[in-house]
Chain A
Amino acid sequence: METIREYFKSPWRVLVYIILILSAFLWLVPVITGLITSLRTYDEILINGFISWPETITFENFKTAWDRGGLSRYLPNSFIITLPSIVLTMFLSSLAAYALARFKFPANRVIFFTFVGGMMLPFQVLLLPVFKLTDFLGLYDTYWGLIFFHTAFQLGFCTFMLRNYMRTVPGEIIEAARIDGCSEIGIWWKIMLPLTLPAIAAIATLEFTWIFNDYLWAIVLTSNDALKPVTAGLATLQGQFVTDWPVIVAGALIGTLPTLLVFLFLQRYFIEGLTLGSSK
């Protein structure tokens, strides 16, 4: 208590604190609105106005969104698409990153910059060919169509990050293993991967939110309602319950729960992932 009083001795700090509290409140308004809306009925909101004491609190909207709105189908789909994509990207990018971080060879720079440049492309420049390719491979309207694309595209970012991280591993460890007769694949598996685990955890957390939240590729590479991830499903839900906002908002809240939980529990990794690339 004493330290807090000490802290606010300067009027400058009080001002800063008031600004922070007001901004934080402003930032939370959409979430609070969402929560309140999802627990009320639309009729009641329209009759009494949004700012009124709720007459009844109901969980019916969540149930409607889950059952009739199809979220019970969409939400598992999101996991079926996201988890394999993350495993595949992390696996492949750690292979590529090891080669780029630890070997001198003529094409090293070219390959590295291709990965870095590719990760910043606007999606639209890939949209039509990838759509055509997916169709050609018979993967249109399958989970694999999305999994392959996410895996491939995220290779750019993951390879970039992991390669920079692997560069910081002391060379002596690797040399020692080589002298002991360890194969290169053995060094990658037994030395590099364990030492890069913190970076892998951070990047994988970030990738989870990115891939899980993808909307554009989901609507381009699937049309079958049974395969849609939750983002595309919510757009469908919006069309189905055009005016029943509490149901739409309840659906949106369910749809965002997984990434929100990941963020709450793995916040440290999430933030590390975001700053890995910028603060060298």
Chain B
Amino acid sequence: MSRTKRDIIPYLFLVIPVLIYIIWVIAPMFYTFYLSLTNWNGLTTPEFIGFKNYTKLFNDKVFYISLINNLKWLGVFITVPVALGLGLAMMLNTAIPGEKFFKMTFYMPMVLAMVVSGLIWGWMYHPKGGLINTVIVSAGVMAKGPGWLSDRDIVLWSIIIVAIWRQVGYVMVLYLAGLKSINPQLLEAATVDGANRWQVFWGIILPLLTPVTVIVLVISVIDSLRAFDLVSVMTRGGPANASSVLANFMYIESFNNYKMGYGAAIAVILFLISLSFIALYLWRVMQDEMEY
């Protein structure tokens, strides 16, 4: 086979997938930057207006509510499900009666559509007939249960609980895979040397799991920034935007209010927040590549 023909082969394999990826993913990303500098209602041609969308955005109260809600979500997501998932993985890493049942139980929320989870939890949160308030009232804790999805102070947390319920299994899967790759002799040696469970966990297991932890954290951040379905189905960001997140805010401005240029500006902000974490992940992948 001639040299040039050999050189061209990989490109023949790549041409269609790469083209499709550029048209549907890469080019749209850049186009959103342009759209964020325009006034566009989705029907007319976008009209260039410079940074007006951004100045408006930085004076929009809902933007700050959404941003702060996203940060709260992110803060909870990189701690609570990670700790719970790791804890469960530690408990289920040994052969234990009913191991399969336990694993399936914690994995199950992952395969349910978020819409489905949102609807079922929405019903459990129902102020009167819902399970949670029925339990609270009949146990005599309160005369009237809280409005889980109607009280502005707790609505966001009610939704985040659903997201945690879903996320824990994912974290657990990743940590279980990580734990499997730890050499048991290492742990035995430490135990023989007199280390207790706690010391083995903090001193050996956790440091060895660092690569998994990095991936878990990146995934948690990305997932928290993508949060949309649960909010959309359970509250649409209400009451009075109390549970709004950027993804939902962007959707409503673009597709309910037809302020698509403005929506694009929100998307750009969301993108910029994700960027540092995408970069962190790419850097990790790059390091793996160097090992080859």
The residues of A with any CB-CB pair to B shorter than 8 Å are 4, 7, 16-17, 19-20, 23-24, 27-31, 33-34, 37, 42, 45-46, 49-51, 92-93, 95-96, 98-100, 103, 105, 107-109, 111, 113-118, 120-133, 148-149, 151-153, 155-156, 159, 167, 184, 188, 209, 212-213, 215-216, 219-220, 230-231, 234-235, 238, 245, 248-249, 251-253, 255-256, 259-260, 262-264, 267, 270-271, 274-275, 277-280
Contacts and interface: CB of A to CB of B under 8 A. Distances in A.
6 contacts: A49-B138, A118-B25, A127-B263, A152-B25, A212-B113, A234-B119
A27 B165 contact: yes
Contacts of A23: 88, 106
A15 to B, nearest CB: 10
A51 B131 CA distance: 8
Contact of B106 (A24, A37, A253, A259): A24
Contacts of A156: 21, 25
A259 B112 contact: yes
A220 B250 CA distance: 12
A121 B25 contact: yes
A33 B131 contact: yes
Given A28-B105, A126-B32, A209-B110, 6 more contacts: A50-B130, A99-B9, A117-B282, A124-B251, A234-B115, A275-B176
Nearest to A93: B17
B20 A129 contact: no
A111 B222 CA distance: 22
Interface string B76-106: 0000000000001001100011000110111
A148 B229 contact: no
Contact of B113 (A111, A123, A231, A263): A231
A128 B32 contact: yes
Interface in B101-128: 101-102, 104-117, 119-121, 123-124, 126, 128
B254 interface: yes
Contacts of A7: 96-97
B106 A95 contact: no
7 closest A-B pairs by CB: A152-B24, A129-B28, A213-B113, A99-B13, A103-B10, A99-B10, A275-B177
B251 A127 contact: yes
Contact of B13 (A34, A96, A219, A230): A96
B123 A33 contact: yes
A148 B24 CA distance: 8
A120 B237 CA distance: 24
Given A51-B134, A96-B14, A125-B271, A215 B115 contact: yes
A249 B9 contact: no
B10 A108 contact: yes
Contact of B226 (A98, A123, A255): A123
A149 B176 CA distance: 33
A132 B40 CA distance: 12
A259 B111 contact: yes
Nearest to B24: A152
Contact of A30 (B7, B124, B135): B124
Interface of B is mostly: helix
B117 A30 contact: yes
Nearest to B218: A120
Interface of A is mostly: helix
Contact of B25 (A45, A153, A271, A280): A153
A231 B228 CA distance: 13
Contact of A114 (B26, B138, B177): B26
Interface residues of B, number: 100
A28, A45, A215, A264 interface centre (most CB from chain B within 10 Å)? A215
Contact of A105 (B7, B32, B107, B285): B7
Given A129-B27, A275-B173, A215 B113 contact: yes
Contacts of A117: 278, 282
B212 A122 contact: no
B131 A29 contact: yes
Interface string B6-50: 010111011011101101111111011001000000100000000
Contact of B282 (A27, A116, A184): A116
Contact of B177 (A99, A213, A278): A278
B222 A33 contact: no
B108 A27 contact: yes
A187 B101 CA distance: 42
B109 A27 contact: yes
B187 interface: no
B193 interface: no
A124 B105 contact: no
A260 B104 CA distance: 11
B157 interface: no
Contacts of B173: 271, 274-275
B243 interface: no
Contacts of B264: 128
Interface string B248-263: 0011001100001001
B282 A133 contact: no
B254 to A, nearest CB: 6
A37 B25 contact: no
